[in-house]
Structure 1
Amino acid sequence: MGAPQSTWLFVLLLLTQGLPPRVAAEGPESSDGPSSGQEPVWLTDVPTAVEFIAAAEVAVIGFFQDLEIPAVSVFHSMVKQFQDVAFGVSTNSEVLTHYNITGNTISLFRLVDNEQLHLDSEGIENIDDTKLSRFIEINSLHLVTEYNPVTVIGLFNSLIPIHLLLMINKASPGYEENMQRYQKAAKQFRGKILFILVNSGVKENGKVISFFKLKESQLPALAIYQTLDDEWETLPIAEVSEEQVQNLCDGFLQGKRLRDNHESEERAQKVEL
């Protein structure tokens, strides 16, 4: 981002300190997501590659001029590990040219913000399972991304400045139905708002919840946040509804904020002190 680091994202990074260094990214799986095949898809021409990338929330493609390099076997080993990521391979010169690839490269494409990220040639030469797995875990942002110590780095680097957080216990009754409605709403705001899931059943996530001045008794809740100016709103809810999410997002995008309410609360607290 070109703007200064926001308070919220800075806090998110601080919250990861002392937590396990590697946590598998658990994004809600989409019914129309990539299949759990054991081999990457061969992309033999530009139209096939374009269609493949457009159909996946997260696509990882190995652009290889040489299939004998060690990186190829490392790349293939990732397919089983990441069931919710689409993997493709191309050696076609026209495909490589279309994506401005000049050497052996592994690239990750994100639907949520149309971002294209590359491992450079030097990184490819020294790649191993751990490094490539980390690259994919950190950068795999979905239409709904679950917050954890690994995905927070990708959230921090997202091109989308407005984040919507659903804070809910994944063990609560009706969770699956709520998530389906939340995912459906997320599709309407692709490229405008980044949708995040915060599992309130995870003890460490209590710090995220308290950042928005929410209590466990007020959950589930939605919190929408503008990373560029630290504006935010919260909305305790009984359950997720598409209309409710859409109204909150539309209002925030149009500048209809309830920030005055927060300021009034803060002033009242100061007066009491």
Structure 2
Amino acid sequence: MKVAQSRYLLLLFLLTCELAPEVAAAVEKSSDGPGAVQEPLQLTDVPAAMEFIAAAEVAVIGFFQDLEIPVVSVFHSIVQKFQDVSFGISTDPEVLTHYNITGNTISLFRLVDNEQLNLDDEDIENIDVTKLSRFVEINSLHLVTEYNSVTVIGLFNSMIQIHLLLMMNKASPEYEENIHRYQKAAKLFQGKILFVVVDSGMKENGKVISFFKLKESQLPALAIYRTLDDEWDTRPIVEVSVENVQSFCDEFLEGKLLRENHESEEKTPKVEL
């Protein structure tokens, strides 16, 4: 089991290290888009905070005792960088107590696995825009998360140990329709399986595809992986449907793996990783 986990960690290490300059660029680059300026929502009571968190796939809340401290301005400055993340602020004592906050804290809430990740007083005392942006970028897992050199860290750190990867070229005309159905399927396995999309049109994602012994001619394809014991399976598909994604996931959860296809790989170290 330890060997399996180390191989998976090695895969992640190689992918992230190779693209390290892009990680920095992703954090530094603002993702500002057209539309109204996004501002954090003031959360004045517990029901408002609960509703706010429940309505977002990813929510970041600044729980502050005092709005005059330096981190508050840092918090405001990153809001516009993440258009797919909901930001809120609360100084209400009852709200802070409800979420077990005892000092100044920035918390990220994820719908996909019901996680609350905290940056506490000592973490945010001297935090800057780059570090706070990286915290949000790494940990922003959605019902369907696009694989890249930043999100891979958050995927590995998630408590959910089964990951389903859709490997498909984002430039294909069928992509938008397929990803819409993929998102519907993701809701059926919320809290059980992390749904990931890997753009096969990106050269740097070739290592992910080769890790699962897939060829370009077999794409689009689904690959499912359990980090705990290194079990995995793949299934080339003509199109994504809720039904075929659901059946593939159900079969994996029930232990119906193509184990014989992987026996030879278990005997041979994956030196390419």
TM-score (norm 1): 0.89
Q: Is the 8 A contact 2:144 2:197 kept in 1?
A: yes
CA RMSD of aligned residues (A): 2.0
Instruction: Within 5 Å, give how 1:1-273 maps onto structure 2.
Output: 5-19=5-19, 20-22=22-24, 24=26, 38-263=38-263
Measured against aligned partners, the alpha-carbon deviations of 1:209-242 in whole angstroms (never above 9, x if no partner) come to 0000000111110000111111101001111111
The change in CA–CA distance for 1:116 and 1:203 in structure 2 (over 3 A counts) is same
Q: Is the 8 A contact 2:5 2:230 kept in 1?
A: no
Letter in 1 for 2:23: P
Of all paired residues, the percent bearing the same amino acid is 76
User: Partner of 1:60: helix, strand, or coil?
Assistant: strand
Higher helix share: 2
Structure 1 CA distance, aligned partners of 2:244 and 2:187? 15
Structure 1 CA distance, aligned partners of 2:36 and 2:159? 29
Q: Is the 8 A contact 1:9 1:227 kept in 2?
A: no
The change in CA–CA distance for 1:199 and 1:42 in structure 2 (over 3 A counts) is same
Q: Is the 8 A contact 1:61 1:88 kept in 2?
A: yes
The change in CA–CA distance for 1:218 and 1:158 in structure 2 (over 3 A counts) is same
Shift of 1:3: 11
User: Partner of 1:180: helix, strand, or coil?
Assistant: helix
Q: Is the 8 A contact 1:40 1:79 kept in 2?
A: yes
Structure 1 regions of 5+ residues with no counterpart?
26-34, 268-273
Shift of 1:36: 6.2
Shift of 1:254: 1.3
Structure 2 CA distance, aligned partners of 1:51 and 1:116? 15
Structure 1 CA distance, aligned partners of 2:266 and 2:10? 22
Structure 2 CA distance, aligned partners of 1:231 and 1:74? 42
Measured against aligned partners, the alpha-carbon deviations of 1:35-59 in whole angstroms (never above 9, x if no partner) come to 9652111111111111111111100
Structure 1 CA distance, aligned partners of 2:24 and 2:242? 33
User: Partner of 1:113: helix, strand, or coil?
Assistant: coil
Shift of 1:198: 0.7
User: Partner of 1:22: helix, strand, or coil?
Assistant: helix
Shift of 1:23: 5.3
- Matched residue count: 257
Structure 1 CA distance, aligned partners of 2:5 and 2:61? 30
Letter in 1 for 2:68: E
Q: Is the 8 A contact 1:23 1:150 kept in 2?
A: no
Q: Is the 8 A contact 2:209 2:215 kept in 1?
A: yes
Structure 2 CA distance, aligned partners of 1:173 and 1:23? 29
Shift of 1:261: 3.1
Structure 2 CA distance, aligned partners of 1:36 and 1:213? 45
Structure 2 CA distance, aligned partners of 1:84 and 1:23? 18
User: Partner of 2:239: helix, strand, or coil?
Assistant: coil
Structure 2 regions of 5+ residues with no counterpart?
28-34, 268-273
Q: Is the 8 A contact 1:138 1:150 kept in 2?
A: yes
